[in-house]
Structure 1
């Protein structure tokens, strides 16, 4: 419970400490990456009720995080630059935000209290003006003078959490036998094992690092410390997309104040033995894991794809826990590593929509993620539709944007869902998706249709488009082929820029087959190492006012990250906009009636 005045009452303390601050309360989960400015602490997610508010010095109460694994990196930056919240009160545990606090505490002696209070107490907290957090105790205050006063700061745990069985090799790493970097990594892993009440650690066969994304100087300090302490990965490790095109950022005109530290961060992870793959779609690489493989992947869309489509087993590892797993080769036996934790507790029924274009799957993923929140869903109704790998990629990226769940099942499509009953828990809640649901999300994602920048439109000519954004997540070889077919024999409007992001390996394959040359003749620009959630000016054209994309993920994050409104549509819509310089202001035909109703 949460008490007014008195002695307060206890929740579950995830990170110890004491704080008093004005309450900033929301009922909607928030992704710190793409949702909070890592330098100022302002909420930049334009779809969130806290948009424009500052977290600085507040007691932030939210149900949980969601979306990107990089939220831990943003949290670390905020705590080290002094623009973070004073405390974090959660309705349910959240690995990503908590891990950012743990790293700040373990590596930099900076911390804030983190406490979980449960649904009833979380709702009652909304009535408070000020809040005091002391360890596991949360008190509502009318004014700050009612606080008990400064309490002793929280203490960093010195011993492994009780109940976690360690091997002799684990104990040796914890004692420093593998060097200081692996010792620090093992301490952080064990704290997360304690949060999950894991009984033991397991071996993992590969890792994918999302912490190589530059969120500010704190992330670089963290990586350099591990390098200076002799950190070297023990398992095959790939790197996510970074904040600059590592080989070309100077030619692209990127400011050295951004390019140099972003490049130095990437170099630090390569120095620790990670492969410079620089892709947010590691499932497209040779050596991708298979069904039943225990892995340690970060990057939200990659985690969801690995668990759901490949049948591999990974938690949604936060940034910085990913490199800890790579340095030790060990991970907590918890989350989706455990068979029973992979079952669905929500049944989603999808209507038949044979006329839908490829915008259907990102819209559906966006809606299912919002409904699921932290629950794993099992989806029925797509058996005959037979979504392909790129459809599942688009669905999963959108799902991971609005959900904190690490996976989904689709009956008859994903490997574990041979039948719905094979993955669904008894008594699971049911939800039916309607076209009106998808239409509401289409309207919400098309911010260019209801902002000042979207006024350059009329019912005949449509909305003026300046930039077409493709490759979030990174383009696959099959997507390159499809884009080439759609653009073949057509001329791009010279005033519209088309920029595609992809991994280096995919670019090489597309170049060998002549696809890259064909798209460049069309006028497209192809960039590696970065993805759209990391692109800033000038690679993002300074003069572009309105962006068109086929990614629901970027349609969600783009307005906050770039400051530009977005028009969302299918890949064919994007090509049409590139050629005409305009996009229709109306929804696609398969969604039109429902969308018109939702807009009204």
Structure 2
């Protein structure tokens, strides 16, 4: 094709060129890109196995985990980053990683958004050059870029953002270096997002305490050296190890020591010892309408959707910046009008459902949504539990870029579908069939043999009620010694379950409990080195595990997980509500 020249919106200025790596599916960098090699490890993504290092990466946006900003910072500082990022739309999580690298460490790559038509025009381009707000595509490698520019002047805060006297004080350094830098980063993001003012928040949940590599620890230590202190109550997400027991669990000190040090750095800033990816299970959970700043994708979706609190899907590092100032951009899901659904999704009547339905549905709905907020209709009389909604939201957050969902007749801002849509007609209406769900079931069930070597539960962290349900299923039984069974949960949940006697029942069955960390961070030896196939009831972990730990997965409901722990085999039974779809499929092939 001939040369293509496109104008877009410059998100981070700069010049770069290279072979174009294009995909029309959004990509989570956490669990999707290996931070030390630049390989795409999301085994469900069309770019799986590709190396992004030194190439111009064109994707519609990020998706999934808020930790993508941290992974991108690692890639930039260790020399494995793409040459440039080209997005279809303005993208917060990955762009923030570049801004942190630029502002705190003096390294950067150009970032640009092109809009739908411009992005699509790159589909057949082989090489690309990015120069600030312009992308040029070529059939053959372009000539070298002009000599590197002199260093840019420091970015100036937009005068379009109204600052209070305190905001200006933060920016001027009146409250210390850490708060000054934090406010500068907040305002750069507010400018990109189109905010014109900031708002006060009541609490924060920090996801940046996950150890992705030396850069994540370097960032936190720099803030501690600047005497950073949080200004609002702040909880911490799961870290990368069980902080109290990582040595006992056999974790390599090369991971255990820096991961623990990273947790300590955030504690030094005044955060609470919580270490859970399910902060909505804590006694500090927010209330309906409360303005908060949470990172961790499943927590964000749960807070917005199930509780009705108000937060954006905050990237790692922006979360602590806001905690240090108590101020956040007044934009997105902080505002009522931007919480409305624009997409309606109708679910068929499927009869009696089990607990595997909700994570599977969340996974599939997320694939359909992109960044659009959906209202899911058809479950008004199914009475999903809070655990069901937790599982749905976590899987939804894995495959979508949206910060929330509505479920008609279930979630607090969707007593009706019309209310969730704000009285407007949906921009799109989609119908999900049982056959669609069967396809996603097969996508999550990546194991190719029936053996089960480890059962992995608690992604997100197990709740007290899940511990009770599991104890009922395991009562009086004993798993095979050859099958590991591990539950991850928060410290507070474990203490309650111990007091209720559930932990004793589960340990008699053979369950091992791990706190402080979660399956998105766990590897060997908690996962036995000889294990080939894992089993889980988590749609989120069924998606991430093949890339993160290189194992195949059986996905099923909790009762099936217990049965497989006792037999060492997955039954491969479909849930009743999916069996009709398989039968219909068989008839079409006769």
CA distance in 2, matches of 1:68, 1:273: 24
Asked if 1:394 corresponds to 2:381, the answer is no
Match of 1:4 in 2: 3
Unaligned runs of 5+ in 2: none
CA contact (8 A) 2:36 2:75 kept: yes
CA contact (8 A) 1:162 1:194 kept: no
Where does 1:74-153 land on structure 2 (aligned, <5 Å)? Answer: 74-146=71-143, 148-152=145-149
Q: CA deviation at 1:158?
A: 3.2
Match of 2:265 in 1: 268
Q: CA deviation at 1:307?
A: 0.2
Match of 1:431 in 2: 430
Where does 1:291-310 land on structure 2 (aligned, <5 Å)? Answer: 291-310=288-307
Q: CA deviation at 1:204?
A: 0.3
Question: TM-score if structure 2 supplies the norm length?
Answer: 0.97
Q: CA deviation at 1:95?
A: 0.4
CA distance in 2, matches of 1:377, 1:247: 40
**Which moved further from structure 2: 579-588 or 242-251?**
579-588
Q: CA deviation at 1:161?
A: 1.6
The superposition leaves residues 153-193 of structure 1 with CA deviations (integer Å, 9 ceiling, x where unpaired) of 67364321231100110001001111111111001000000
Unaligned runs of 5+ in 1: 455-462
CA distance in 2, matches of 1:598, 1:23: 39
Q: CA deviation at 1:588?
A: 2.2
CA contact (8 A) 1:141 1:147 kept: no
CA distance in 1, matches of 2:20, 2:129: 9
Match of 2:365 in 1: 368
Label 1:438 to 1:176 Cα distance change in 2 as closer, same or farther (>3 A). same
Match of 1:501 in 2: 488
What CA RMSD, in Å, does the superposition of the two structures yield over aligned residues?
A: 1.5
Q: Number of aligned pairs?
A: 585
Counterpart selection for 1:476 from 452, 459, 463: 463
CA contact (8 A) 1:17 1:153 kept: no
Label 1:597 to 1:244 Cα distance change in 2 as closer, same or farther (>3 A). farther
CA distance in 2, matches of 1:157, 1:418: 48
Q: SS in structure 1 opposite 2:577?
A: coil
The superposition leaves residues 118-145 of structure 1 with CA deviations (integer Å, 9 ceiling, x where unpaired) of 1111111122111000000100123333
CA distance in 2, matches of 1:596, 1:39: 45
Match of 1:338 in 2: 335
Match of 1:553 in 2: 540
CA distance in 1, matches of 2:355, 2:154: 50
Q: CA deviation at 1:540?
A: 1.7
Asked if 1:380 corresponds to 2:377, the answer is yes
CA distance in 2, matches of 1:88, 1:547: 34
Q: CA deviation at 1:491?
A: 2.1
Q: CA deviation at 1:584?
A: 1.4
Q: CA deviation at 1:148?
A: 4.9
Where does 1:235-250 land on structure 2 (aligned, <5 Å)? Answer: 235-250=232-247
Match of 1:31 in 2: 28
CA contact (8 A) 2:312 2:333 kept: yes
Question: TM-score if structure 1 supplies the norm length?
Answer: 0.96
Q: CA deviation at 1:590?
A: 2.2
CA contact (8 A) 1:409 1:416 kept: yes
Match of 2:167 in 1: 170
Where does 1:408-447 land on structure 2 (aligned, <5 Å)? Answer: 408-425=405-422, 426-428=424-426, 429-447=428-446
Counterpart selection for 2:206 from 206, 209, 219: 209
The superposition leaves residues 56-94 of structure 1 with CA deviations (integer Å, 9 ceiling, x where unpaired) of 000000000000000000000000000010000000111
